[in-house]
Amino acid sequence: MVNAFDLVPLIAALPFLSFVIAVTVGRWLPKEGALPGVAATAGSLALSIWAFLTVRADGAHYDNELYTWIDAGAFELSFGVLVDPLSSMMLVIVSLVAFLVHVFSMGYMNDDELHREKGGFPRYYAGLGLFSASMLAFVFSSNLLMAFMFFELVGLCSWILIGFWFREEAPPSAAKKAFLVTRFGDYFFLVGVVGVIVTFGTAGFAQDGFPQIAAHFLETGEGADALWVPGDLDTQQWFSILGLLVLGGVIGKSAQFPLHTWLPDAMEGPTPVSALIHAATMVAAGVYLVARMFGFYAGLPTVLAIIAFIGGFTALFAASMGVVKDDIKQVLAYSTISQYGYMMLALGVGGYVAASFHLLNHAFFKALLFLGAGAVIVATHHHQDMWKLGGLKRSMPVTYYTFLAGSLALAGIVPFSGFWSKDEVLYDALLIGLEQPLFMAAYTMGLAAVFLTGFYTFRMVFLTFHGEPRSEHARNPEPLRWNTKGPLAVLGVLAAVTGLINMKPIAELIGSDDILYLEHWLDDGAAADGGEWMGNLTYHHYGDLVHDVAGLSEASLAPYAPAAVSLALAIGGALLAKRLYDVPEPEPATERLGSAGTLLERNYYLDEFQVWLATGVTEPVARACNTFDQGIIDGTVNATSSVSLFSGQRVRRVQSGLVTNYVAVIVMSLIVFVLAVGIVGGWFL
């Protein structure tokens, strides 16, 4: 009997195989490499579901030494798998979204005339395959180093795919920006990985891994001898520094302030790629990493506060920019940044379940919204400006209703999935915030973003689908085939129902925790094959750490009032959008915002600021360093060599080539030597 856990590496190997096939023989295959990709991701999905069910039946599986890369005695660098409730859930999400994106791509790329002209499909499907493979391997990574490697591979794939249409002007530059900005964060991550390995002697996530060692030390103060701490630094401070270093990579990948600028530009890539990046693969990686090593963060109050604050701020900040965008994909891009802000906020207040819940829901509804936007784009011959769309409700009913389901989930309207998870995020934040005022600020920003989310989401829906068509293409959209509608339908259903797995207010209402399936799922520390109890990966353990070690206490409050407030805000935003934009001839209302509108339109001038930072600060510093290097350091070396060169040129004239001269010099020297010895020895006295 084959064990599902033995086949886990195959989950990543299958898409990798499809990458190899697409690269080598893709151009001769029917559909140019799409079919191997679809088959491989379908296989990954089946294996992931099997692994998920096995975890459900037997418990988690952890093997940190599938392959030992370097064994250095004191520590070893290895590859392994960790399949626990969190990662098995994430495997299903990622492989499902990857599968649907592959199917949708056949409709978006292969069936579209314009895309067929541009060509390059084998390269596209190769990129998708590698992207899925690296993300899946990242998800089941058993240690931080392996996670880092696949994290980097994900970044590389995003570069390949965002810059897919490299003959145009904008995509290559957007790809470069995405790569460089995320690399900037990953630099800190790499330092953090090295720091973790040096400090703990291991980078493993589960049993005897660094989160467990750190938590044990913070709880009991034991085991300090085994830890390496630089200088006189307090151990907890050093842990916080390590946590913040790793967080640098998270902020880059999950597009949190201030490293979010790459994500809106990444819209230059093909739309299915955007769906993949935003829903399942790249941006989710950052938040997933924090959840993965949450046992490490949970005991560090400073880092938690920073995570919560960055999250809350990003949620509001990105939502405010999403309000004024005219490009349907840009609106979605800013909503992604904003939603990942919520997840960070949840993690910062110890809401591990809330963050995972929102990650799950967001993966489905954001993939849905992007694929819906892709369907609109391909049906209207590449029109993304919402002011040139409108009235698509009648001509594209499947797209409209699924998009509406995704929008209701995104805006957080009951009973769609986003409501339940966003509400839980805000509820957790409020409980912590009532006791600690600093977290209250993060909560307030998150709450304010709910209103903006409702507004921009329905502005997008009304402008795209309602009213009268505002261009020829919107009047007669192309019909879509099954491969576009199928994924939309699947995701539409998921976006509507996934919220039901963790309905906190309902559970409170009926006084039974039994319907909190996700919470129970993530609280299961049972290990398969009679292995050790993995209590250090459970929600309970994290809750205890946040409460006892980090000292964040929770207020007690019934969840109804906060839920009602956030729901009211979301509906308020939606109604405002309806008043402004759900009319036959909507007018752009952005001008009425005046200079504030311009500020939002230009993304708070953050791009300009970052360019200025590069050209105005970094470049002069680099120039000065270059001058120092060329002038002082190289100058010293060059001066030494030119002095010896010059003196050598003078001295070599002694070598006349005449034997007689040499003999004369030898004889003279001998005479001088003998005379000198004689004078010193006193022969002539």
Task: Encode burial over 234-267: b for 16+ CB neighbours within 10 A, e otherwise.
Answer: eebebbbbbbbbbbbbbbbbbbbbebbbbbbbbb
Shortest Cβ distance from residue 673 to another protein (Å)? Answer: 16
Residue 340: closest CA among 294, 290, 284, 297: 284
Q: Which CB, 558 or 663, lies closer to another protein?
A: 663
Q: What's the closest the beta carbon of residue 664 comes to another protein, in angstroms?
A: 6
CB of 653 to another protein, least distance (A): 8
| Smallest separation (angstroms) from another protein to the CB of 656 | 6
Q: Which phi and psi angles does 81 have, rounded to 5°?
A: -125, 145
Report the residue number, 224 or 659, with the smaller CB distance to another protein.
Answer: 659
Nearer to another protein by Cβ, of 224 and 658: the residue is 658
* Binding stretches for another protein (CB under 8 A): 652, 655-660, 663-664, 667
Residue with Cβ nearer another protein (1 or 651): 651
Residues 161, 113: Cα–Cα separation, whole Å = 20
Task: Classify 385 as helix, strand or coil.
Answer: strand
CA distances from 536 to 215, 354, 358, 425, 523 (A): 9, 18, 22, 22, 10
Q: How many Å apart are CA 539 and CA 524, to the nearest integer?
A: 8
Structure tokens at 157: 């794939």
- We find the least distance from the C-beta atom of residue 641 to another protein, in angstroms, to be 18
Half-sphere exposure of 262 (CA within 13 A, CB side): 30
Q: Least distance in Å: CB of 639 to another protein? A: 24
Least distance in Å: CB of 647 to another protein?
14
Closest separation in Å from C-beta 659 to another protein = 5
Q: How far is the CB of 683 from another protein (least distance, A)?
A: 17
d(Cα 300, Cα 232) in Å, to the nearest integer? 19
Nearer to another protein, 394 or 652 (CB): 652
Return phi, psi of residue 59, to 5°: 105, 180
Best CA proximity match to 22, nearest among 135, 164, 129, 155: 129
Q: Which is nearer to another protein, 639 or 664 (CB)?
A: 664
Task: Extract the tokens encoding 591.
Answer: 């001008």
Strand partners, 527: 60
User: Which residue, 614 or 667, has its beta carbon nearer to another protein?
Assistant: 667
Cis peptide before 415 (omega within 30 of 0): yes
For another protein, the closer CB: 556 or 660: 660
Could you tell me the smallest distance in angstroms from the CB atom of residue 657 to another protein? 3
Residue 432, both tokens: 């912590």
The full length of the chain comes to 685
**Rounded Cα distance, 465 and 400, in Å:** 7
Angle at 395 between CA 392 and CA 400, to 5 degrees: 55
What's the min distance (Å) between Cβ of 658 and another protein? 6
User: What is the CB neighbour count within 10 angstroms for residue 460?
Assistant: 28
Nearer to another protein, 24 or 669 (CB): 669
- What's 350's DSSP letter? T
In whole angstroms, how close is the CB of 679 to another protein at the nearest point? 21
Read off the amino acid at residue 117. E
Q: Which is nearer to another protein, 70 or 658 (CB)?
A: 658
The whole-angstrom separation of Cα 6 and Cα 27 is 33
How far apart CA 202 and CA 646 sit, in angstroms, is: 56
**Cα distance between residue 44 and residue 39, in whole Å:** 9
Nearer to another protein, 24 or 656 (CB): 656
User: Taking the alpha carbons of 57, 59, 60, 63 in that order, is the dihedral positive or negative?
Assistant: negative
Cα 315 from chain centre? 15
Nearer to another protein, 643 or 670 (CB): 670
Q: Dmax over Cα atoms in the chain, in whole Å?
A: 127
Nearer to another protein, 437 or 657 (CB): 657
Min CB(670)–another protein separation in Å: 10
- The amino acid at residue 670 is L
